[in-house]
Amino acid sequence: MKAYPECIPCLINQGLNAVRKLNLPRDAQMEIAKRSLKFLAGFEEFEHSPAYYAYFIQKIVKEITGSEDPFYELKKKANRVALSLLREKLLPEFERQKDKLRFALKVSAVGNAIDFAVKGDFNPEGEVLKLLNKDFYVFDYDKLLERLPSAKLVFIIGDNAGEIAFDKLLVSALKDLGKEVVYGVKGKPILNDATMEDAREVSMTELCKVIDNGSDKVGTWLEDCSEEFRRVFWDADVVISKGQANFETLANTERDLFFLLLAKCDPIGNETGGRKGELILKYKDG
């Protein structure tokens, strides 16, 4: 997916929304804004995905904050909030469901809304419960059901901290169907993306095999990923990719994929056949 014109101000705002959460002084925020603008102004054409440009802007954030994981505490908060919601609201409802896989897919997509690092203040419980009352706008569930009976290995590429806790229901539903599940996380910190530490914190590592991709890129840049990650990606019978950045970087990959996300902007809505604010399960043929 290539960047849209409206992605440019969004990239700047994403960086600024993030640093506001870090309570940086005004001069540091201004420096991030100026350097981000200068970086983006160096491109005559925007041929890459939005995630490509976001990565280099986050490198600026890391440099100015002097931290390799500036969103560490926000990720901890997201995990705590998500685990509480999972225990108190979602797990009991999951146990009551006849079609647990369908419900788990919705919970996993809704989890994409938990984004403390780049969103303004919001009520996570209220937003999650509101989204759970929505139907999927794009829902290629029939395609998934066609693929699963013959599938042995399902690979889920995770997205954010917090969200990873919600993905545990999806892993459980797939395991109940007799599938081997591998879950992928980032190899190094970037934004609020889930790492192996987050996987351990929410006990994902006790539920299934978790591998890291050896990379700190925004989204999934296969050329930058570890050999193990690439092997699982290509060998898996079914791949479920979580979140927008993974969609942006994997949409043109030459294998079949299921993209599971909340569309947070119009470009993603357009690219997935959905619209902003809607839940998406999109199948892409290889």
Q: How confident is the model at residue 40 (pLDDT cuts 50, 70, 90)?
A: very high
pLDDT of residue 21: 74
Query: In the structure encoding, which two tokens stand for residue 97, read together?
Result: 């469901």
pLDDT averaged over every residue in the chain:
93
Q: What is the pLDDT of residues 57-97, one digit of tens each?
A: 999 988 988 889 988 988 999 999 999 999 999 999 999 99
Q: 45 vs 149, which has greater pLDDT?
A: 149
DSSP labels, 32-86 = HHHHHHHHHHT-SS--S-HHHHHHHHHHHHHHHHT-S-TTHHHHHHHHHHHHHHI
- Whether the per-residue pLDDT at 191 is higher than 70: the answer is yes
Q: What is the pLDDT of residues 228-260, one digit of tens each?
A: 999 999 999 999 999 999 999 999 999 999 999
Q: How confident is the model at residue 122 (pLDDT cuts 50, 70, 90)?
A: low
Q: What is the CATH number of domain 72-284?
A: 3.40.50.10880
| Domain spans, the chain | 7-65, 72-284
DSSP H stretches of helix in 66-160: 72-85, 91-96, 100-110, 124-132, 141-147
* Burial per residue of 47-70, b for 16 or more beta-carbon CB atoms within 10 angstroms, e otherwise: ebbbbbbbbbbbebbbebbeeebb
Q: How confident is the model at residue 19 (pLDDT cuts 50, 70, 90)?
A: confident
Q: Are 246 and 220 in contact (CB under 8 A)?
A: yes
Model's pTM, two decimal places? 0.95
Segment 225-229 mean pLDDT: 98
- Whether the per-residue pLDDT at 20 is higher than 80: the answer is no
Q: Which of 62-76, 115-129, 200-214 has the lowest mean pLDDT?
A: 115-129
Q: How confident is the model at residue 119 (pLDDT cuts 50, 70, 90)?
A: low
DSSP labels, 201-253 = HTTHHHHSEEEE-S---SS--GGGS-HHHHHHHHH-SEEEEESHHHHHHHTT-
- Distance, in Å, from the CA atom of 72 to the CA atom of 246, rounded to the nearest integer, reads 21
- Distance, in Å, from the CA atom of 116 to the CA atom of 210, rounded to the nearest integer, reads 23
Residue 181: strand pairing partners: 154
